[in-house]
């Protein structure tokens, strides 16, 4: 079927200004994008009137955790039985799609095959969800982020513990065998956990290098949890493709990121930090507790770092660790507003992080309204270039299209 979208204000994701125009969708792809009205022959097409609305690319979640189901602590994710966890992940996939996210690059699965199974079901058309690049669980080291074991008690969370290059190699190969697209490694720690703090670099260089060598030999991308400046440098030196967080990156690390900006992507995952500071009290984290956890310091460093990244032209994607109790799935578009208010991005720049740059990370023809690209698009009641918060209101997403097909509520 051919669908002609008319009378809309077209924002194509390239960074150019919006313009009055039309978009012709043919099957699953965009056939034509034209400026002005009446430029595309209307015979034999279904017309979709976008009068007074914005037509834009579907959003891309660059740090997705579809299998994170409202956890308040890491072990909550390990405690969910696999059967229930599959259903929860399916529900989250539908929720994310209905929030306007037509693609998602996973930053970790809570269990080995959750992302893989849900990705396969989405691709087969059996369940609704965004296009998904499925991730491994977070590969970590003993005492690192994701290792919640104790000598007297084995506890699962979202981590796979592997110490030394040989164990890392086996673990990465296992993940590849089970069908993942992305490998996730935790080079640094996190201030939420007792042993490995955010400023620490706890995965050795030979371990990181082995993860990258094995993953790349299978054609897989590697994403890394790297808050510490040394962790960012280690990720770059070893060939990591996507570096998350980076709040404590110093001038040397920022220079190195800038030098590698045509190869790597970064993502701040600022939503969890912001919400822990301001919205986590119903789950027992007061403002004073958040400050004691180092969240204020983390936010200040993130603002400094990502202001620099914007100026240096480093490719940044949205995605804020949504899926914890105080960062619920479906609220992911808040990240776009965070980029504007916290990091100094213009609305157009922030929207590009959520569309074009995310599409580049996906490695798919998505994230722009462009001839030959997949027909993943939104029709929005409002102008996101004036107020990015309109994308947080599901009622204003008047039409969500993925692969040329309308997404139902």
pLDDT(182) > 60: yes
| pLDDT at 409 (0 to 100) | 53
Cβ neighbour number for residue 116 with a 10 Å cutoff: 21
Span 116-130, pLDDT tens digits: 999 999 999 999 999
Over pLDDT 90: what percentage of the chain? 96
pLDDT tens column, 376-397: 999 999 999 999 999 999 999 9
- Asked whether residue 70 carries a pLDDT value surpassing 60, the answer given is yes
Average pLDDT over residues 164-178: 98
The CA R_g of the chain, rounded to the nearest whole Å, is 21
Structure tokens at 62: 């660059």
| pLDDT confidence tier of residue 39, bands split at 50, 70 and 90 | confident
Most distant pair of Cα atoms in the chain: their distance: 72
Q: What is the mean pLDDT of residues 60-88?
A: 96
Q: What is the pLDDT of residues 298-341, one digit of tens each?
A: 999 999 999 999 999 999 999 999 999 999 999 999 999 999 99
Contact (Cβ atoms closer than 8 angstroms) between residue 290 and residue 296: yes
Per-chain mean pLDDT for the chain: 97
Average pLDDT, stretch 16-23?
Answer: 97
Mean pLDDT, rounded, for 346-361: 98
Kindly indicate the confidence band of residue 36, based on its pLDDT and cuts at 50, 70 and 90: very high
Share of the chain above pLDDT 70, in %: 100
Three-state DSSP class for 244?
A: strand
Residue 172's alpha-carbon distances to 164, 176, 218, 286, 361, in angstroms, are 12, 6, 10, 38, 20
Per-residue pLDDT reduced to its tens digit, 219-237: 999 999 999 999 999 999 9
Rounded Cα–Cα distance for residues 86 and 97 (Å): 17
Quick one: which H or E segment has residue 212?
Answer: helix 205-217
Residue 40 confidence class, pLDDT cut points 50, 70, 90: confident
Cβ atoms of 70 and 29 within 8 Å: the answer is no
Provide the pLDDT for residue 11: 98
CA distance 135 to 110: 9
Q: What is the pLDDT of residue 59?
A: 98
Asked if residues 117 and 146 have their Cβ atoms less than 8 Å apart, the reply is no
């Amino acid at each position: 079927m051919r669908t002609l979208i008319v009378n809309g204000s077209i924002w194509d994701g390239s960074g150019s200004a919006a313009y009055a125009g039309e978009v012709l969708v043919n099957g699953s792809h965009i056939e034509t994008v034209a400026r002005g009205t009446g430029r595309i022959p209307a015979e034999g097409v279904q017309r979709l009137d976008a009068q007074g609305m914005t037509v834009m690319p579907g959003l891309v979640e660059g740090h997705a955790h579809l299998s994170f189901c409202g956890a308040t602590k890491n072990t909550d994710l390990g405690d969910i039985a696999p059967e229930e966890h599959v259903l929860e992940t399916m529900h989250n996939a539908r929720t994310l799609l209905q929030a306007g996210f037509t693609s998602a690059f996973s930053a970790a699965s809570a269990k080995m095959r959750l992302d893989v199974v849900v990705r396969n079901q989405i691709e087969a058309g059996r369940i609704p969800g965004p296009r998904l690049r499925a991730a491994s669980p977070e590969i970590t080291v003993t005492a690192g982020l994701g290792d919640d074991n104790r000598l007297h008690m084995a506890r699962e969370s979202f981590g796979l513990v592997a110490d030394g290059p040989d164990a890392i190699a086996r673990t990465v190969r296992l993940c590849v065998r089970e069908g993942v697209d992305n490998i996730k490694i935790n080079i640094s720690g996190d201030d939420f956990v007792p042993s490995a703090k955010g400023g620490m670099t706890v995965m050795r260089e030979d371990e990181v290098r082995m993860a990258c060598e094995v993953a790349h030999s299978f054609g897989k991308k590697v994403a890394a949890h790297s808050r510490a400046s040394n962790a960012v440098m280690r990720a770059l030196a070893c060939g990591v493709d996507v570096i998350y967080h980076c709040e404590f990156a110093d001038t040397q690390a920022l220079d190195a990121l800038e030098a590698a900006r045509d190869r790597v992507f970064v993502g701040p995952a600022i939503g969890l930090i912001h919400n822990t500071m301001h919205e986590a009290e119903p789950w027992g984290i007061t403002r004073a507790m958040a400050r004691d956890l180092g969240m204020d310091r983390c936010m200040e460093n993130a603002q400094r770092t990502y202001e620099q990244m914007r100026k240096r032209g480093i490719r940044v994607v949205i995605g804020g660790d949504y899926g914890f109790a105080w960062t619920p799935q479906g609220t992911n578009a808040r990240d776009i507003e965070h980029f504007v208010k916290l990091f100094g991005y213009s609305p157009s720049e922030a929207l590009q992080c959520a569309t074009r740059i995310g599409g580049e990370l996906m490695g798919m023809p998505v994230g722009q309204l462009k001839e030959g690209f997949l027909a993943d698009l939104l029709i929005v009641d409002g102008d996101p270039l004036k107020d990015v918060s309109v994308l947080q209101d599901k009622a204003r997403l008047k039409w969500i299209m993925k692969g040329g097909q309308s997404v139902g509520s």
